[in-house]
Structure formats: structure tokens, C-alpha cells
Amino acid sequence: MSLLSIKSLSLTLGGQPILRGIDLEVEKGEVIGVIGPNGSGKTTLFNVLSGFLKPTHGKIHFKQTDMTGMAASERARIGIGRVFQNFGVFREMTLEENVLVALEALPKEQRLVLGDLKKAVHSTLKLVHLEDHAKKKANSLSGGQMRLLEIARTLVSGKELFLLDEPTAGVSPKMTGQIADLILTLKKEGKTVLIIEHDLPFIQKICDRVIVLDVGEIALQGKPDDVRHNGKLKELYFGADPTD
């Protein structure tokens, strides 16, 4: 079975179908882009995967375990990392302290494997190119740097599946490049990433596969190049060409 297996997933809210029969198998180490017009259900899908919303129908398995009825905290414990926009970071703490808090929250056995926590903090900050800012408070970071710090915290907290909702929104082109590099580093380390993103060149650079949601259904999926050049993509965006 795949790392993440989603079967016939549906969600109805207030009589309104929001997700409709989603089937998706995600293999370990895959980076999958989730695109689609505004309101098509992308964020809702992440809410269902991370346990903030319970599906009306369907099953979700993660590492062979049925997690359909699991609470969000339990899903986090088994390795699902939702990266929130400017939410997970402690703004009044330094970057070092932010990473250290995530490391100290690990179960003791995992902490022991890391050895010297100070070194682990340093190598984590280095991985996201923030080592020069180690002593600064998180609230002095740019939006893009904050995003990198959040991904780093998710990484050191031992998560295996990363759910990233528009990580490049409002971020400079340089920072967008660094986020892309970091996602490719995660992939190399065997992590699995689902990423909601509007920026198609970004998606093409980092994703193995793209799924396109439209009114709560997977309307199109495939390799990034094939999806980008599929005529149906333009139709889905109601004439607004996302490749412009």
C-alpha cells in the first residue's frame, strides 16, 4: 500500500458537497502539486488530511493505518506535518529557540539519536539558509524566511508527510527559489510532500505529479508538463490562463 491512500473521500458541509469522491495514492518520496481554481477544495482537502475536518464518506490510510477517525494531534504524532502560514512559529523567540522547542518536543528516544541538540539546531538552520539569523527573534524575519523556518521546524519534529498550503504566497522570487530547493532536499531525505500552489513554473520545477481539483473533484492529473499543456486546464480556470 502507498504511504498515503485516499479512497472515495467526500465531504459535505451545510448540505453543500465540498469534496466529491477523491481517490489518490501517494508514494513515499513523491512531491505532488495540488492546483485548481479558488474555492475548488484544496485547503479543505488538507483540513481533512490533517484531521481538522472529518470526511462524510471515504477512508484515509497513512503508513497502512486507517486514520480516518484520528484526531489532528494523533495524526501529527504519526508523522503528518501541516505547515501553516505564520502560525507555527513563536515570534518572540529567537530562531535557535524555535528549532530547539521543536526538538525538545520529540520523544526521548528520538532526541537521544540526535546527540548534541545545539549542533542539531545549527545544522537545521543551515539547511534552510537561516544560520546567520540564529540569534534574531522570529518576528524580524521576512514572510519567506518565516516559511522556511516553519518547514524546518516541521522537519526536525520528525514528520514524514508535509502539507504545504501556498508556501510561496507573498514571498520574494529569491525566497521562492530557496523554498523550492528545500522541498527538493526534503524529497532527497525520503520525505513526501503535498503542496497547494498557484505558481505553475514552481510546480513544474519541484513536483513529480500534479492533481487539479475542480468543485471538489480531481478533474485532471498527471506529470506537470502534461497537465500544463492539457487544454482542459484552461477551461477549468474559466478562461483565466494560469500559465500566463
Ligand X SMILES: Nc1ncnc2c1ncn2[C@@H]1O[C@H](COP(=O)(O)OP(=O)(O)O)[C@@H](O)[C@H]1O
Contact residues for Mg ion (CB under 5 A)? 42-43
In the complex, minimum distance from the CB of residue 235 to ligand X, in angstroms, rounded to a whole number = 17
* Residue 26 interaction partner, one of ligand X, Mg ion, none, beta carbon < 5-8 Å per kind: none
Residues counted in the chain = 244
Torsion on CA atoms 26, 27, 33, 34, rounded to nearest 10: 10
Q: Which of 4, 33, 35, 44 binds ligand X (CB under 6 A)?
A: 44
* Residue 236 interaction partner, one of ligand X, Mg ion, none, beta carbon < 5-8 Å per kind: none
Nearer to Mg ion, 20 or 42 (CB): 42
Coil, strand, or helix at residue 102?
helix
Nearer to Mg ion, 42 or 187 (CB): 42
x-or-dash pattern for ligand X, window 13-42, by CB under 6 A? xx---x-----------------x-xxxxx
Nearer to Mg ion, 41 or 51 (CB): 41
What gap in Å lies between CA 78 and CA 73, rounded to an integer? Answer: 9
Nearer to Mg ion, 163 or 207 (CB): 163
Residue 12 found at the interface with ligand X (CB under 6 A): no
C-alpha cell recorded at residue 4 = 498515503
Query: How many helices, marked H, and strands, marked E, lie in the chain?
Result: 10, 10
C-alpha cell recorded at residue 30 = 513523491
Nearest to 193 by CA among 102, 80, 88: 80
x-or-dash pattern for ligand X, window 157-196, by CB under 6 A? ----------------------------------------
Nearer to ligand X, 43 or 86 (CB): 43
Category of 58 on φ-ψ map: left (φ > 0), alpha (ψ -120 to 50) or beta: left
Nearer to Mg ion, 43 or 204 (CB): 43
* Residue 73 interaction partner, one of ligand X, Mg ion, none, beta carbon < 5-8 Å per kind: none
Query: What are the contacts of 185-190 at 24+ separation with CB within 8 A?
Result: 185/127, 186/31, 186/151, 186/155, 186/162, 187/29, 187/30, 187/31, 190/28, 190/29
Contacts with ligand X, residue ranges (CB under 6 A) = 13-14, 18, 36, 38-44
